[in-house]
Amino acid sequence: MIATESLSKRYPRVTALDRLTVDITPGVTGLVGANGAGKSTLIKILLGLSPASEGRATVLGRDVATDGAEIRALVGYMPEHDCLPPDVSATEFVVHMARMSGLPPTAARERTADTLRHVGLYEERYRPMGGYSTGMKQRVKLAQALVHDPELVLLDEPTNGLDPVGRDDMLGLIRRVHTDFGISVLVTSHLLGELERTSDHIVVIDGGRLLRASSTSDFTQATASLAVEVTDREEELRKALTAAGLTARPSGHLLLVDIAGEETYDTVRDAVAGLGVGLVRMEQRRHRIAELFIDDTQDGEGAAEDGGRSTGPEPQLAEALAAGAKEGEGSDAA
Ligand SMILES: Nc1ncnc2c1ncn2[C@@H]1O[C@H](COP(=O)(O)OP(=O)(O)OP(=O)(O)O)[C@@H](O)[C@H]1O
């Protein structure tokens, strides 16, 4: 769907993208990075709106340097910032965007009604958008990205400004864009936790550089472990888990178990029950950030070692990972 090759974007004072090489396949891909990591810059280059300083990129097989207009006709784009005219209704606006994409008037009206219904806007769609809540505005922005039935949508921070319930609703909608309509999605966020729940693949960038690109399940296994606390006999439990094929190491009064898949939770539960001890706690924990790079690519190691740009990757990625871990705590604790 999207391929970049040593893609760089340099502004006079900052390198927004630094030799980024990544291959994005069909499905839902989450692009995670802290504020300023280069997510919006990448999207603008992919749409052919901003030229790269170096390297090349293709979207749906078209070259971003020469085929920008064609790419924009095939792709839907949801920008990060509030950009809706306050005096027109969602219906008027989305019909206009559909017409701009080349749909004839009747088809534009029909597709607008369907799309606004799909994103959950009903009677409100006839009111001026100036009076909409943030959640409603985000839905309109999503609707205008989908109205011309694109093959791919690029969604820049679609959960920005939403409360937890609004965020969950938006993430559900994004997932359904792919499952119900077969549209591939590239979605950005600074919160790793929400992208892990929504995406098939995760790409992590920091300081404009690629830190990691993998399937979400590989990513979660590589970045998370299970912290297990039992009332006693920790060493015997460690041996039982090792015998069951898991990697477990002591950490204070906890055992940290590498998550090898959903079944890891059952294996731990059965081993604890088999020993007849009490299970005090079993919760998902993130590895430390340094451990994220253990089996990383050369690029990733370089980024970790040389500190990336002026601010360095660790504090920025730490923010994303901490937010992800915090989010995961509630649902992952058993
Ligand atoms: N037009 C520009 N001129 C100069 N610097 C820019 C410009 N656009 C972006 N930058 C810088 O490039 C870096 C990457 O910005 P970018 O907007 O791509 O990050 P981001 O990951 O999308 O973060 P955010 O979610 O905060 O927008 C930042 O340091 C930003 O200040």
User: Can you give the pLDDT at residue 197?
Assistant: 81
- State which amino acid sits at residue 120: G
What structural domains and CATH numbers belong to the chain? Answer: 2-208 (3.40.50.300), 224-308 (3.30.70)
Highest mean pLDDT among 2-16, 188-202, 259-273: 2-16
Kindly report the protein residue whose alpha carbon is nearest to atom 1 of ligand 1. 11
Q: How far is CA 155 from CA 28, 31, 144, 160, 295, in A?
A: 11, 10, 11, 11, 29
User: Can you give the pLDDT at residue 316?
Assistant: 52
User: Can you give the pLDDT at residue 39?
Assistant: 93
Q: CA dihedral defined by 296, 301, 304, 307, rounded to 10 degrees?
A: -150
- pLDDT(246) > 50: yes
Of the candidates 170, 205, 164, 156, which has an alpha carbon nearest to the alpha carbon of residue 320? Answer: 205
Q: Which two tokens stand for residue 20?
A: 């980024």
Q: How far is CA 309 from CA 5, 86, 283, 291, 304, in A?
A: 20, 39, 34, 21, 11
Averaged pLDDT, 245-267: 88
Complex ipTM: 0.94
Ligand 1 atom closest to residue 208's alpha carbon, by position in its atom list: 14
Averaged pLDDT, 175-188: 94
- State which amino acid sits at residue 85: P
User: Can you give the pLDDT at residue 300?
Assistant: 37
271-317, pLDDT tens digit by residue? 999 999 999 988 887 654 334 443 443 333 333 333 333 333 444 55
98-137, pLDDT tens digit by residue? 999 889 999 999 999 999 999 999 889 999 999 999 999 9
Higher pLDDT, 66 or 305: 66
Averaged pLDDT, 248-277: 90
Q: Which of 40, 44, 81 to mutate to test the pocket of ligand 1 (most atoms within 8 A of CB)?
A: 40
User: Can you give the pLDDT at residue 187?
Assistant: 96
- pLDDT(235) > 50: yes
User: Can you give the pLDDT at residue 141?
Assistant: 96
Alpha-carbon span 20 to 22, nearest angstrom: 6
Ligand 1 atom closest to residue 309's alpha carbon, by position in its atom list: 29
- pLDDT(234) > 80: yes
Averaged pLDDT, 145-164: 94
Q: For residue 316, give every residue at least 6 positions away whose Cβ sits within 8 Å of its Cβ, in sequence order, or none.
A: 33, 34, 35, 36, 37, 206, 207
pTM: 0.75
User: Can you give the pLDDT at residue 185?
Assistant: 97
Residues in contact with ligand 1 (CB, 6 Å cut-off) = 11, 14, 16, 33, 35-41, 157
Averaged pLDDT, 167-178: 93
184-227, pLDDT tens digit by residue? 999 999 888 788 888 999 999 988 999 888 888 777 766 678 88
Averaged pLDDT, 50-67: 96
Kindly report the protein residue whose alpha carbon is nearest to atom 28 of ligand 1. 36
Rounded distance from Cα 80 to ligand 1 centre (Å): 12
The sheet carrying 152-155 orders its strands as 75-78, 152-155, 184-189, 28-32, 201-206, 209-215
Rounded distance from Cα 167 to ligand 1 centre (Å): 23
Ligand 1 atom closest to residue 43's alpha carbon, by position in its atom list: 18
Q: Which two tokens stand for residue 177?
A: 């864009």
User: Can you give the pLDDT at residue 284?
Assistant: 81
